[in-house]
């Protein structure tokens, strides 16, 4: 059985939370028109949000056709 590092959960009709099994909340999938884009999020030492930051910053603005865990894991190189 393959383990997925990334999990998705809906926040509302246009935003899904993206969580990594080791790093916690790493961003959101946001629907922009007909495309879903990954918006990376990091956190500073004081807990402040760093838009576009975090461990998946290199994937910021990656487009997806749907909020699908298999697609996101494949794009981010998760097993």
pLDDT tens across the length of the chain (79 residues)? 345 699 999 999 999 999 999 999 999 999 999 999 999 999 999 999 999 999 999 999 999 999 999 999 999 986 5
Which pLDDT does position 70 carry in this prediction?
A: 95
**Secondary structure E strands in 1-79:** 6-12, 15-20, 24-32, 35-43, 49-51, 63-64
- pTM, two decimals, is 0.90
Q: What is the pLDDT of residue 77?
A: 84
């Amino acid at each position: 059985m393959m383990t997925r590092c990334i999990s998705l959960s809906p926040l509302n009709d246009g935003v899904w939370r993206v969580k990594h099994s080791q790093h916690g909340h790493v961003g959101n999938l946001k629907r922009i028109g007909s495309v879903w884009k990954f918006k990376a999020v990091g956190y500073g030492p004081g807990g402040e949000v760093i838009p576009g930051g975090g461990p998946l910053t290199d994937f910021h603005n990656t487009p997806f056709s749907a909020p699908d865990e298999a697609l996101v894991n494949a794009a981010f190189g998760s097993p």
